[in-house]
Structure 1
Amino acid sequence: MNILYKRTHSDILGIIASSLCLIHCLFTPFLFIAHTGSVLYQDGYSVLWKSLDIVFLALSFIAIHRSTKTTTNPTIKYAFWTSWVLLLCIIVNEKLSLFPLFEEVIYIVSILLVGLHFYNKKYCGCKREKCCAN
């Protein structure tokens, strides 16, 4: 069975993706400060580093999609998707600078997603593998 189709594996993927997103967001300012004087690294790291937002967003979408298909708690489904939409809006706003927003908001949403995946993994699962599948 594919790793993404097991509920616990999708929660683990979500924990990893959200944690890496959080680490990415925490270290981005330090990376750019460290390379402010270097013209050589500015463009290359900038494009690669900024594209990781989209990668983490896609991974979290996959993890949330699979986790919400098999969770036993309907409130968790809404919490997952609300958090993901918030994360999407924050990243789109960061890319397009639509309105001023505190940088710390993305940390809160990332931590929330990690916590939701931990909670879902521990309390909202089935005892049998197929009991929650659609």
Structure 2
Amino acid sequence: MASTTLCLVHCILTPFIFIAQACAASCCAESPVWWRVIDFLFLVISFIAVYFAAKNSSKRWVKIALYVLFAFLSFFIINEHAGSLQLNRIFLYTPAFLLFALHLYNKKYCQCQDECYTV
């Protein structure tokens, strides 16, 4: 949940960093390498979070939804770096927000007590 929240903050702040960088040096609109590496760091941390959330979830649909949302998020982040498809940034924010919301739902309603049951 924290990883997804930080990822969402990172995604929201990125345009402001571009504006600040454009004002500082008008030669290029490329983000710094360290800022782009953070995307992939968040993907690794998010995968670990999704793995453990799915492992401890009592509902099968939540497990599947966690992995599907992570797959969409990964696709959009990799696509943004590769530049294959020109997509609106809302496609990046939506799976990040939904992953955050699903983590909250999972934490409140789907935690295993003694054993996990598939519902």
Q: Alpha-carbon deviation of 1:117?
A: 0.5
TM-score, normalised relative to structure 2: 0.88
Give the C-alpha shift of residue 50 in structure 1.
1.0
RMSD, aligned CA: 1.9
Q: How many residues align?
A: 114
Give runs of aligned pairs for residues 52-63 of structure 1, distance below 5 A: 52-63=38-49
Q: Quick one: distance in 1 between partners of 2:12 and 2:83?
A: 19
Query: Which aligned pairs between 1:1-134 and structure 2 lie closer than 5 A?
Result: 15-39=1-25, 46-128=32-114, 131-132=115-116
1:10 corresponds to: none
Cα deviation, 1:63-94, whole Å, max 9, x if unaligned, reads 11111112110000110010000011001100
- The sequence identity of aligned pairs, in percent, is 36
C-alpha separation in 1, matches of 2:78 and 2:47 = 15
Gaps of 5+ in 1: 1-14
Q: Tell which has more relative contact order, 1 or 2 (C-alpha 8 A, sep 6+).
A: 1
Normalising by structure 1, we get a TM-score of 0.79
Query: How far apart are residue 104 of structure 1 and its match?
Result: 1.2
Rounded Cα–Cα distance in structure 1 between residues aligned with 2:53 and 2:74 = 18
Distance 2:74 2:22 in 1: 28
